[in-house]
Amino acid sequence: MAAFTLHTTAATSPSSPAGTAILLRSRSRAYPLSTVRVSCSAAAAAAGKTVVIGLAADSGCGKSTFVRRLTSVLGGGTEAEPPRGGNPESNTLVSDAATVICLDDYHSLDRPGRKARGVTALDPRASDFDLMYEQVRAIKDGRAVEKPVYNHFTGLFDPPELITPPKILVLEGLHPMYDERVRDLLDFSIYLDISNEVKFAWKVQRDMAERGQSLESIKANIEARKPDFDAYVDPQKQYADAVIEVLPTQLIPDDGEGKVPRVRLIMMEGVEHFEPVYLFDEGSTVSWIPCGRKLSCSYPGIRFAYGFATYFGHEVSVVEMDGHFDKLDELIYVETHLSNLSAKFYGEVTQQMLTHAHLPGSNNGTGFFQTILGLKIRHLYEQVVAEAERAAMTAVDAAKPILEL
User: Identity (one letter) of the amino acid at 141?
Assistant: D
Which lies closer to a second copy via its Cβ, residue 88 or residue 283?
283
Residue 326's alpha-carbon distances to 7, 329, 367, in angstroms, are 45, 8, 13
What order do you get walking across the sheet with 302-311 strand by strand? 93-94, 98-102, 168-173, 51-56, 188-194, 242-248, 261-268, 314-323, 302-311
Closest CB to a second copy among 293 and 400? 293
Residues that bind a second copy (CB under 8 A): 280-295, 307-308, 337
Q: What are the DSSP calls for 197-214, one per residue?
A: HHHHHHHIIIIITTT---
d(CA 252, CA 249): 6
> Which residue lies nearer to a second copy by CB, 294 or 358?
294
Nearer to a second copy, 79 or 282 (CB): 282
Q: Output 291 or 321, the one with its CB closest to a second copy.
A: 291
Which residues, at least 6 apart from 66, have a Cβ–Cβ distance to it below 8 Å? Answer: 55, 57, 172, 190, 192, 370, 373
Cβ proximity to a second copy: between 287 and 394 the closer is 287
Sheet holding 157-163, edge to edge: 4-7, 36-40, 157-163, 145-150
Residue 389's contacts (CB-CB under 8 Å, 6 or more residues apart) are none
d(CA 162, CA 33): 11
Residue 308 Cβ, how far from a second copy at the closest point, in Å?
A: 6
Q: How far is the CB of 285 from a second copy (least distance, A)?
A: 4
Instruction: Return the number of the residue (178 or 304) whose C-beta is nearest a second copy.
Output: 304
CB of 122 to a second copy, least distance (A): 37
Minimum gap (Å) between residue 269 Cβ and a second copy: 9
Q: Are 155 and 111 in contact (CB under 8 A)?
A: yes
Minimal distance, residue 385 CB to a second copy, in Å: 29
The CB-of-135 to a second copy minimum distance in angstroms stands at 40
Beta carbons of 15 and 143 less than 8 angstroms apart: yes
Strand partners, 169: 52, 99
Closest approach, Cβ 175 to a second copy, in A, equals 33
